[in-house]
Amino acid sequence: MTHRLSRRSLATVVATTTAALLLAACSTGGDSSTDKGAGEGPVPEPTSPVTISFASWVGAEPDMKTLVDKFQKEHPNIKVELQNVPAEEANEKLTAQVAGGNPPDVAFIDASTTAQFASRKALVNLDNYISRSDVVKADAYVPAFKTFVTYENGMYGLPFDGESTALFYRTDLFQAAGISAPPTTWPEYEDAARKLTDPAKRTYGQPLFAPEAAYYWYPWLWQAGGKLLSEDGKSVLFNSPEAKTAADFYVKLAQYAPKDYLNSNSYDGRQAFANGQVGMYVAGSWFAGTLGDEFPQIDGKWSVAPLPKGSAGCGTTIAGDALVLFSQGKKTDAAWKFIEFLSQPDNVAQWTYKSKAGTTLPPINSLLESPDLVATKPILKGFAEAMPCGVSQVVANPDWPKIEEALNEELGKAIYGEQTAAQALDNAAAEAEKIIR
């Protein structure tokens, strides 16, 4: 694989450029994405009936239906037409729609893909609209989420929901092992993992997944003060001394991991946590929903804490969704009215922590800090506390998936004891440099 990556990355750049040129050619005369929404005062209400399309994978959820109904009642001239796409196909479908010159007016997308679409000139720069709005304030958002939707200093999306990565732990196993509280530092974490590990009883500290080694290493990297790539995405930073410290600690955790799951993944691994094979599990808040749905038998036997702090303080990986407008759309004002409505704090609260089944967090500071949140969903406490430490590891680089695959492969070898953690990072960095170049 080593040899063909560099050529492939070049081809990808070429392909992306071609796509961008085609898009530019498709969009109608002079209507550049930065002009949209220019003007003063509140965006006017349409005078005749307008239908806007809204693409998402959440259109069938009762909370979304309620919000859409409420919006249509308040704005009788705007009708919202829901287009549903399964989450895992959304990105591909939107790419195809943009390429075909027929995107929806509004879309609910994975926030980390915003920059990708913005860089292809597919999205409306929302700065003009935000400056005219009484509801949406750019600095009300949690900084890491704002980073997700910012491209070349412009905001191209409104963060709508989010989740952070935190530490799930089995209270019953902690008690049995004589651990009084969830670990707050690296040494405490290792100590807890050691105490939980007893191969004779088939219990372990936490699972480690070689095929997903990179993703679960990132939080340790942030906590040690390391970075993946430089701001411009041109140089590799993940083999710095800080990163090597983090990788070394992370790889050593393999001795407290059930060997059966070393070649598994975080989804299959949930069973290890559910049947008490591991006492700790690092995961996003989606995992809380999964545990509640699939494993009610361990209700009350687990809890959530923020990830432990490293030498550079706290750090966690975050993810989320954002609302965006497409630059090829012709009903941009009405579309803005809709996402402005959804972004009202009470509606964001309704969509996130107040939702019946949901376990996501609001990406707005004031909501995140409100006592209302913990009162409504106690299980979200650990995640909400971790949110300010969120690092958006968004790498707006089309080659990132391949770099991550190299990291997975090299860190995987380290987990299997074929090389040291430092060697793993150096090897992955060498490959990443070839890919970027």
Partner 1 sequence: MSGRGRGARRGVLRVMWRERSAYGFLAPGLILFSIFTVFALLFAFYLTFREWNILEPEKPFVGLQNYQDMVQDEDFRRSIINTAYFTGASVPLGMALGLAVALLLNQPIRGRGLLRTLYFLPNITPFVVAAIIWKWLYNGDYGLFNFYLLKTHLITQPLVWLSDKNLAMPAVVLMSVWASVGFSMVVYLAALQAIPNDLYEAARIDGAGAWARLRYVTLPMLAPSTLFLMVMGIIGSFQVFTQIYIMTSGGPLNRTTTMVYYIYEAAFKFYEMGYASTLAYALFLLLLVFTALQLRLYRRADL
In this complex, which beta carbon is closest to partner 1, that of residue 83 or of residue 95?
95
Nearest to 397 by CA among 13, 30, 27, 138: 13
Number of chain positions touching partner 1 (CB under 8 A): 34
Give the nearest distance from C-beta 197 to partner 1 in angstroms. 13
Of the candidate spans 67-75, 153-161, 365-373, 401-409, the one that interacts with partner 1 by CB under 8 A turns out to be: 401-409
**Residues ≥6 apart with Cβ < 8 Å to 96:** none
Q: Which helix (H) or strand (E) holds 356?
A: none
135 close to 129: Cβ distance less than 8 angstroms: no
Q: Does 24 bind partner 1 (CB under 8 A)?
A: no
Give CB contacts under 8 A, 24+ apart, made by 301-304. 301/170, 301/171, 301/172, 302/168, 302/169, 302/170, 302/171, 302/273, 303/168, 303/169, 303/171, 303/182, 303/382, 304/166, 304/167, 304/168, 304/169, 304/379, 304/381, 304/382, 304/383
Q: Does 21 bind partner 1 (CB under 8 A)?
A: no
In this complex, which beta carbon is closest to partner 1, that of residue 368 or of residue 407?
407
Rg (CA), the chain: 23
In this complex, which beta carbon is closest to partner 1, that of residue 146 or of residue 413?
413
204 close to 277: Cβ distance less than 8 angstroms: yes
In this complex, which beta carbon is closest to partner 1, that of residue 11 or of residue 38?
11
For residues 43-82, which are near partner 1 according to CB under 8 A? none
Q: Give all strands (DSSP E) within 381-423, no chain letters.
A: 390-391
For residue 159, the number of C-alpha atoms closer than 13 Å in the C-beta half-sphere is 28
In this complex, which beta carbon is closest to partner 1, that of residue 7 or of residue 137?
7
Q: Does 260 bind partner 1 (CB under 8 A)?
A: yes
**Taking CA 337 as the corner, what is the angle to CA 336 and CA 340, rounded to the nearest 5 degrees?**
80
Among 27, 83, 95, 376, binds partner 1 (CB under 8 A): 95
Cα 296–chain centre separation: 26
Strand-pair category, 316-325 with 390-391:
parallel
Q: Does 277 bind partner 1 (CB under 8 A)?
A: yes
320 close to 111: Cβ distance less than 8 angstroms: yes
Give the nearest distance from C-beta 376 to partner 1 in angstroms. 39
Give the nearest distance from C-beta 202 to partner 1 in angstroms. 4
Give the nearest distance from C-beta 259 to partner 1 in angstroms. 4
Among 13, 17, 18, 241, binds partner 1 (CB under 8 A): 18
Q: Does 402 bind partner 1 (CB under 8 A)?
A: yes
Among 13, 15, 24, 26, binds partner 1 (CB under 8 A): 15
User: Roughly what angle, to the nearest 10 degrees, separates helices 421-436 and 241-252?
Assistant: 130
Q: Does 437 bind partner 1 (CB under 8 A)?
A: no
Give the nearest distance from C-beta 292 to partner 1 in angstroms. 24
Give the nearest distance from C-beta 331 to partner 1 in angstroms. 26
Q: Does 320 bind partner 1 (CB under 8 A)?
A: no
Query: 66, exposed or middle or buried, with CB in 10 Å at 0-12, 13-18, 19+?
Result: middle
Q: Does 262 bind partner 1 (CB under 8 A)?
A: yes
Among 82, 99, 140, 395, binds partner 1 (CB under 8 A): 99
**Residues ≥6 apart with Cβ < 8 Å to 409:** 428
**Taking CA 45 as the corner, what is the angle to CA 44 and CA 51, rounded to the nearest 5 degrees?**
130
Q: Does 4 bind partner 1 (CB under 8 A)?
A: yes
Give the nearest distance from C-beta 213 to partner 1 in angstroms. 11
Among 46, 59, 143, 211, binds partner 1 (CB under 8 A): 211
Which residues sit at the interface with partner 1, rule CB under 8 A? 1-4, 7-8, 11, 14-15, 18-19, 92, 95-96, 99, 202, 210-211, 258-265, 277, 401-402, 409, 412-413, 416, 418
